[in-house]
Structure 1
């Protein structure tokens, strides 16, 4: 997903320049994953969208590699940067630690054998809606927020 392709229902990233502010990061630490899949892997990005529905993920590439920007559209942000040695570092600010939230969601996807877009489904019932992986009855489920049709 890129700034040109926001997820359905997600305002363009340009509406969040206020999220990062002008101050330094509250937290800086190594980030264990290679950032390249966040640029190109639609299956990973979909799984992350299910786990972190309110987090916008944008990517870019420079001479050192892939860079990733995360934000929740409110007050939290993270920047994941590939360093010249190929390692990645996370800088975070705001009350949520978005890089810390990203890691277990990514780890889940890896542990589950990297489910593809086609391994997920959605169930809509009168009282709830949810996305599931591999099996609607026994697989993991993530509830979806419902919206009043009058406000959509």
Structure 2
């Protein structure tokens, strides 16, 4: 059984994610949180397989909460895929730096949301296809070696 905490400041979104995920025999939503701090508390208490986290939640946002659950300094991390309405590169990069295991948009199809949860629970990760190309481009820019100087022409 894949145990999930759903964190989103909108009750209707939490209810929708719960309904989609719990329609599967192998997924159980063990808790819901309306902000990042509560998501961290619930995750540490319930020890789910992952926390499906929104980015923008007052007062503690999802990126801060992700760092507290899955950041580079966390020894016993809990995987955190991010689900957000906003397709913003800054959010994607910040979430991944904070330790996010994946990044999907909330307009995701139900079957794809289930597949994303299963992928992260199986120690994988998932990035929405529309975001993947931009990530690859940015990564390539940041890791591109300096050009090799050509020898002088005789």
- Judge same fold: TM > 0.5, yes or no: no
More helix by share: 2
Taking structure 1 as the reference length, the TM-score comes to 0.29
Q: Identify, as 1 or 2, the structure richer in strand.
A: 1
**Higher Rg:** 2
